[in-house]
Chains A and B, each alone.
Chain A
Amino acid sequence: MTTPPFLLGVTLLFWGWQTGLLWVGVLAALAVEGSRIVRVRWNFPQADLDRIYNLCTALFFGSWVIAFATGEGSGAISGLMKNTTFAARAENLNKGVRAVLHVFQWLPISFLPLMLAQAFGQSERMEWQTFSWWARRQRKRGEPAARGSGLNVTWPYFALCLIAACSANESSRWFSAGLAALAAWALWTRRSRSFSNARWAACLGAALLLGVAVQQGLRGLQHIVQRLDNAFVAGLTAGRQFDPKESRTMIGSIGRVKQSGSILLRLETDGQSPPGLLREASYNVFKSPVWGSTKRNFSPTIPESDTTTWWLLPGKETKKSVTISEYLSGGKGLLALPRGTARLEELGVYNLETNRFGAARSVEGPGFVRFRAAYGEGSSIDVAPETDDLEVPEGERPALGRIADELSLEGRTAAEKLHAVRRLFIDHFHYSTWLGPEHSTGTAETPLSAFLLKHRRGHCEYFATATVLLLRRAGIPARYAAGYSVQEKKGNQWVVRGRHAHAWCLAWIDNAWQDIDNTPSDWNAVEEARAPWWEGISDKWSRLRYEFSKWRWGGGEWKRYLLWLVVPLILLLAARLFFQKQWTRILSRPAKNVSPTAWPGLDSEFYGIARALADRGVERRPGETLSAWLARVAVDSRDAVRGLEPLLQLHYRLRFDPHGLNPEERTGLREGSGNWTKSNGVGRP
């Protein structure tokens, strides 16, 4: 290794610490730095180096697959393509970026085999063609390889570890200090001797100070950009998950309300009818165009002793149950639940919280959950009505008053009021996802007033908001609920797509909250008609992802089995290295420029004759050819060299003829030499 002792080990520890893979870092550091203690070196042939690089490439692409097939990354790409709103795309892009960062964080692991091959291999450098399939193909085709000195991967690996550490998010002063220390250590070993150590230190100090200043500058720049961006981003509340704090509606916006056709939830009901609506959150305060909630604090829920059963309404009798599967981005998110849910079973989240408005959220948990919700009519976790639930915004009062007068809601019973409001929306209003210019009024008139009094067309948010406010105007406490409508059956499952996202009204009737959905029932058909032609394909993909998630996040012990699968694989590889490859024990580094060459003909039996002759007292001089030597021997004793001439010819041909000897000639040389040694009374060489 060309790095100074322990630099790479410390860098790997630093990387492990930063990325939360400390133990991996420790093991990798031990393995790499172990090459300074263990003096065994392997002689990797080029083919093996090629294979090791292939393995690294496979690990690298494998890490991409893992990053994008599991956790957040899985939905990122499909979501990016399916979602049509900018905000949803931005969110998916962010998820994709996080997945890519994971790949970066795992880089030192992906390329560890190559580093180990360098550390424990005999050669100082790896040929360039090791790193290029194109160059390898050229080599196979017999084209001369580009000559060069090759690459020692130690320093690039060091840089790789630093880059990987940089892609973590462990923001602390220690990170900067550690990074600077490692950089200084590395630079110290490569410093130019043209400068004194003091000048080197001064330059480094200046560069580090400058670095700190630049960091501060970058932070400042980020703040400025963020402030500029905030106004822009505020309009793009994103994601499939609703926000428990507020819901920004499209009321007053123009353009088409578009939702994706990707499958978000799957329901299994064992033959029962599914709940019509699944709620994620509800809100009580309307400030056009935002629905928000006051006193929205969440409080934790305690699970039963099996840790997967959560009682939301202890003791409530329920008759119905539904099994819901959904993805939780990063293990966090709101759960979509039917109204009146009393108990959640087999829910493997670690922390579950609920709030006063009936929202239940996972704070920490797996990326995918499949749980059974037991629900029934009657009580729910929502708190009883408060004064806010009767509040009508000032700006909407005139229009609401006119409608209320038209319907003459005063003095009627609650049931009559509900019926009158429902008839109004069904008879006189139309569902439309196209928000024309009429929705943006630009005058003192609010968008909701325009909806109620003029154009009378809009999407579910209009209907839900209008219903809530009309009921409040009529004295019935009401809230705005956001969630999904269950309407599509696929096989034995009910699926909920992005475009099934829905808003409706919760009304306090007979001392319980009831779902009131006044959106014209044709909205399903309108949304259905917009299903893209490739939905079948994306559904297949979604199904695959669902099955994989079920397998991955299921309670099985597969991870342990996988480990047991990996162990024999590693043992197999190790055995291959140990028993099939040449390995040598060297006590010191091999001297450079020693290239053992297998000269042909070194196994010639004639050397035995030469040794036998030399033993008789006529030593061969340095640089003397065999024939000259034999001639010299012949001067002293002609008998000694009798019959050697043809053998010598064969020997020369074996050694120097590019075509070598044919098998008969080779046998001839062997036998001739044997006969000579026998007849001259010498043992076999």
Chain B
Amino acid sequence: MNRLRYKLYRQFSGLRHAIPRRFTPAGLLALVTLCATGAIGIDMDQTVGFQGFALVACLLMMAIMLAPFFRGRFTIERVLPRYGSVGEPFTYHVTVRNLGTRTWRDLELIEDVEDPRPSFADYAVARREAPRGATFRITRTPAGPGRHRRVAPFKPARVSTLAPHGDAEALVQLIPARRGPLRLIGATVARSDPFGLFRGFVRVPQTATVLILPKRYRLPSIALPGTRQYQRGGVTHASAIGQSDEFVSLRDYRPGDPLRHIHWRSWARTGRPIVKEFQDEFFVRHALILDTFASPAQMAAFEEAVAVASSFACSLSTQESLLDLMFVGPQAVCFTTGRGVGHAEQALEILASVRPCREKPFRSLQELVGQHAGNVCGCVCLLLGWDEPRRELIRQLESLGQPLLVLVIAEAAAAAAIRNAPAEGKPAQFHVLETGRIAEGLLQLEGARP
């Protein structure tokens, strides 16, 4: 049964992909007209619909028959940006070169994206994981929004006249629909038939990848705690690997001092071990804890949580503070940005590829946070629910005396339930953000202080 369903899914999604690529807008209109006149004209005694049907059918037939006669030879060269962002349109140029001796007019360029459809195994898993009755469309993968959707829909780009052995530029515009790598496997040069209804294709293989970064929200000025804290390793921890080189003074050796700090010349002079003393570094360091333990039903909330995390990673990592991004994927990850250690782009790259964690228990996040909690002076927690394990994590952080800003991201119904839950266990800065109204919710955080 599943196999049949998968086949149907592949067939339908394939058609949905192919029809708008093959047919021009005029062709699509003709297709709709064909269906309508066909339905009207079934009873030939009642209407003359069959005459319209015959005419449109023959025009479309002619157009489809002429499509394979398009035979050109082309190469393409893309000038691609490294990154794009979800929801933000970006454009790039593609140079199309004509290798043949014919002049081509009115060509179009369509980018070919890697097939986003899941394999049968993935599909079966996705179906198993999907909540019952979550979907009624057989063509739709039940994995929730975003997972197997095309990264970005491409519109055909117009290519100006191509002289023999000449080249022309096409401006491709796209609006990424979801985060992650956008893999282009080639491009299709298309020419429509004389009537402008159906496109004939010449495929040009040429791979390239653009990383689509998560969507970001504008964050209000959130006052994260300014208490500076001693950072072991000093400022070099921030700018390079190794110890701080801000020399302060010399002092007598105390057991436990590293041998590297012994000032040999002073030892030689005084006869007793003398070590160099360095500036202790105090600066602000925050943790951004992202809850990746999303059930299939929580995919929308998870995507929003990643977007919010990206917004924090962009806004908070200034030159003055460090930000530790912590989440559990296949491995537990703690990535530090700020003060030149890591750039916000790197954090975004990581966030662009973060997947929900289904293999490990929530406890692993708690352990990860426990390891690093001592270094930080404030935590921003992005949670997907307010159940016992999550409460336990918050209790643990509170017991360490950490100032907290807890943002729970959930669907409207779940959000209402969390808001109405008893206040016991909720920290002072506890906010619920509703999917679809995240930007509004974030604006209300103005002045929030963990």
Contacts and interface: CB of A to CB of B under 8 A. Distances in A.
A222 interface: yes
25 contacts: A101-B46, A101-B47, A142-B439, A155-B25, A159-B29, A163-B33, A163-B37, A163-B52, A166-B52, A167-B40, A167-B49, A175-B48, A175-B51, A183-B55, A190-B26, A192-B105, A192-B106, A194-B107, A203-B62, A203-B66, A204-B195, A207-B58, A207-B62, A214-B57, A222-B44
Contacts of B44: 218-219, 222
A22 B36 CA distance: 23
A212 B53 CA distance: 11
A195 B194 contact: yes
Interface string A190-207: 111111000110011011
Interface in A157-206: 159, 162-163, 165-171, 175-176, 179-180, 183, 187, 190-195, 199-200, 203-204, 206
A660 B292 CA distance: 39
Given A143-B436, A167-B49, A215-B54, A200 B194 contact: yes
Contacts of B175: 147
B196 A166 contact: no
B87 interface: yes
Choose among B37, B89, B196 the residue with the greatest number of A CB atoms under 10 Å from its CB: B196
Given A167-B40, A208-B55, 12 more contacts: A142-B437, A159-B32, A166-B53, A175-B51, A187-B26, A191-B195, A192-B106, A192-B196, A207-B59, A210-B58, A210-B61, A211-B59
Contacts of B48: 18, 166, 168-171, 175
Contact of B195 (A142, A162, A163, A190): A190
Choose among A162, A166, A170 the residue with the greatest number of B CB atoms under 10 Å from its CB: A166
A180 B48 CA distance: 13
A215 B29 CA distance: 21
A156 interface: yes
Interface string A114-150: 0000000000000000000000001001111001000
A194 B54 contact: no
B149 to A, nearest CB: 13
Contacts of B439: 142
- Size class of B's contact patch? 35 or more
A141 B440 CA distance: 11
Given A190-B195, A192-B106, A222-B44, A162 B58 contact: no
A98 interface: yes
A166 B194 contact: no
Contacts of B37: 163, 166
A192 B192 contact: yes
A143 B304 CA distance: 12
Interface string A513-555: 0000000000000000000000000000000000000000000
A224 interface: no
Contacts of B46: 97-98, 101, 169
Interface string B193-208: 1111000000000000
Interface in B204-246: none
Contacts of B29: 155-156, 159
A375 interface: no
B43 A97 contact: yes
Contact of B194 (A97, A155, A199): A199
B104 interface: yes
A104 interface: yes
Nearest to B56: A183
Nearest to B438: A142
B69 to A, nearest CB: 10
Given A162-B52, A183-B55, A206 B104 contact: no
B49 A166 contact: yes
A187 B192 CA distance: 12
Contacts of B74: none
Contacts of B430: none
Contacts of A195: 194
Interface in B15-43: 25-26, 29-30, 32-33, 36-37, 40-41, 43
Nearest to B44: A222
B50 interface: yes
B104 A194 contact: yes
B191 interface: yes
A578 to B, nearest CB: 34
Interface of B: 25-26, 29-30, 32-33, 36-37, 40-41, 43-44, 46-59, 61-62, 66, 87, 89, 104-107, 175, 191-196, 436-437, 439-440
A517 B309 CA distance: 91
Contact of A193 (B32, B40, B105): B105
Contact of B33 (A141, A159, A194, A200): A159
| Shortest 8 CB-CB contacts between residues of A and residues of B | A166-B52, A214-B54, A211-B58, A190-B196, A210-B58, A207-B62, A166-B49, A211-B55
A171 to B, nearest CB: 5
B436 A142 contact: yes
Interface string A75-116: 000000000000000000000011001001000000000000
Nearest to B412: A141
Given A192-B192, A192-B194, A166 B47 contact: yes
B50 to A, nearest CB: 5
Nearest to A212: B54
A162 B33 contact: yes
Contacts of A212: 54
Choose among A144, A203, A206, A207 the residue with the greatest number of B CB atoms under 10 Å from its CB: A207
A155 B51 CA distance: 20
Contacts of B56: 183
A143 B434 CA distance: 11
Contacts of B50: 215, 218
A192 B59 contact: no
A159 B27 CA distance: 12
Contacts of A187: 26, 59, 195-196
A101 to B, nearest CB: 6
A167 B44 CA distance: 10
Given A155-B29, A170-B48, A203-B66, A163 B40 contact: yes
A185 to B, nearest CB: 12
A668 B437 CA distance: 36
B145 to A, nearest CB: 12
B26 A155 contact: yes
Contacts of A170: 48
Contacts of A214: 54, 57-58
A166 B436 contact: no
A179 B51 contact: yes
A83 to B, nearest CB: 20
Contacts of A141: 436-437
A220 B48 CA distance: 15
B48 to A, nearest CB: 5
B47 A180 contact: no
B167 to A, nearest CB: 18
B40 A101 contact: yes
Given A166-B49, A179-B52, A210 B62 contact: yes
A210 B37 CA distance: 17
A168 B47 CA distance: 5
Contacts of A192: 105-106, 191-196
B32 A211 contact: no
B41 A191 contact: no
Contact of B58 (A18, A167, A190, A208): A208
Contacts of B61: 207, 210
A81 B194 CA distance: 50
Contacts of B191: 192, 194
Contacts of A144: 87
A633 B193 CA distance: 67
A156 B28 CA distance: 10
Contacts of A211: 54-55, 57-59
B396 to A, nearest CB: 35
Nearest to A217: B54
Nearest to B66: A203
A210 B51 CA distance: 12
